Amino acid sequence: MDWYTSVFELIDMRSFSNLWFWVALAVLWSSASHWVLGVPWDMVLRAGRVGGQPAADMETMVRINSERILYITRESGVLMTGFAGFVLTFLFLVGFVYGREFAQAVFLLGTPMALVWLLSVGTAGRVQRQELSDAALIKQLTRLRFYIRLIGMASIFVTATWGMWQNMSSSALGG
């Protein structure tokens, strides 16, 4: 038995039984809830607590990132939406109709992130339209982070439930 075979017997390379998939899921949602509109959450907290220059820095970052998000959306929003819809539909069909676990895993990562992107675009537009600043801006970012965390919790629950089902099904079938 060679090294390659030993490693693949030791580490199950299917998505839902692979430790690296769960690490990636945790990192994905940790990052999504930490970076709200491209601004680190600790910067938002510091801006609310201290005010002054930290608040001005946060507002500048939000303004820059909001403009960037809206520019991307204006320039290629229809194309991105169509492509994302195609990819997610493809992953759904390959994963759930044809039973490919990798496609299921990527679909369960990508679909909630598409929702996060839509929420971020909406929030960026609201920040720019209403010219939010100070406490109103922090409140809007807090609300966005809350919704991102709700989506993340639901996503982790659904993914963990589906992953356990897949793992139990494959072990019941003998591999």
Tell me the mean pLDDT in the region 3-11: 63
The helix-helix angle for 19-34 and 101-130 (nearest 10°) equals 0
Q: What is the pLDDT of residue 144?
A: 98
Q: Which two tokens stand for residue 135?
A: 């406490």
Paired with 36 in beta bridges are 39
What is the band of 69 on the pLDDT scale with cuts at 50, 70, 90? very high
Q: Give 81-136 as a DSSP string.
A: HHHHHHHHHHHHIIIIIS--HHHHHHHHHHHHHHHHHHHHHHHHHHHHHHT--HHH
What is the band of 9 on the pLDDT scale with cuts at 50, 70, 90? low
Q: Which two tokens stand for residue 7?
A: 């490693």
pLDDT in tens, 118-159: 999 999 999 999 999 899 999 999 999 999 999 999 999 999
Q: Running DSSP on this structure, what letter comes out for residue 12? A: -
Please name which of 95, 145, 117, 109 lies closest in space to residue 23, comparing C-alpha atoms: 109
Q: Which two tokens stand for residue 9?
A: 């017997």
Domain locations in the chain?
62-165
Angle at 153 between CA 47 and CA 42, to 5 degrees: 15
pLDDT in tens, 17-63: 888 889 999 999 999 999 999 999 999 999 999 989 999 999 999 99
